[in-house]
Amino acid sequence: MINIITRTHSREREFNVLWGTVEAQLGNVEYNWIVGSDTDCQYYDAIKLQLPPYQYVNVPQGMYYAPWNTYLETLAKHCKDGYVMYIDDDDKFSYQDSLKVIADNCEEDTLLIWKVRITPAFIVPSHSFGKAITAGDISGIGYCFHTKYLPVQWGNLSYGDYRVAKQLEGKVKKIKWIDEVLTQTQNGARNGR
């Protein structure tokens, strides 16, 4: 069982594309799709989310305040047994059997990391692939881990995907790298909030 955590926010067109790539995985793998939204989601009966009250945060240079990262912590509480992965509404699976490749490589005490296409020319991890988890060279839609390692703290600043991967690196016995692009952003660009 793979728990797919998705947060969405007023991006119905993008969510519809993601939905199509999730539906394409049907029959390949048993999964539990957990969707949360802070607005009404016309395509899915999403868990209603609410931004936490504003907290003063000393934001380090090069980062930004990202309170919607806490949604991923909230949605993880709905995970069933098995494994966890994240994929936002403006992302998608790269192939019809992407989830099967992920499932076939899952191991309980392993952090599974695969490549993510950010733009046609930019794939992460790139320079650190197979070597180390590096800030700016890993994507939250490019890893999977067992539910026994929950909770993980995304926090309310940017680079939450990196911080979560580093937390997991400190908990699991090994990291397994898949040299294949299994997920990607839509249209080769970040749609932003």
Domain ranges in the chain are 2-51+63-185
Spatial separation of the C-alpha atoms in residues 129 and 132, rounded to whole Å: 7
Contact predicate 115/179, CB 8 Å:
yes
pLDDT in tens, 143-174: 999 999 999 999 999 999 999 999 999 999 99
Instruction: Find the helix or strand (DSSP H, E) in which 35 lies.
Output: strand 31-37
pLDDT in tens, 121-138: 999 999 999 999 999 999
Spatial separation of the C-alpha atoms in residues 185 and 91, rounded to whole Å: 4
pLDDT in tens, 31-84: 999 999 998 888 788 999 998 888 788 999 999 999 999 999 999 999 989 999
| pTM of the shown model | 0.93
Q: In the prediction, which pLDDT does 189 show?
A: 56
Q: Of 84, 80, 8, 87, nearest to 40 (Cα)?
A: 8
Identify the CATH number of the domain defined by range 2-51+63-185: 3.90.550.10
Average pLDDT over every residue of 171-185: 98
Spatial separation of the C-alpha atoms in residues 66 and 53, rounded to whole Å: 12
What is the pLDDT confidence band of residue 191, given thresholds at 50, 70 and 90? very low
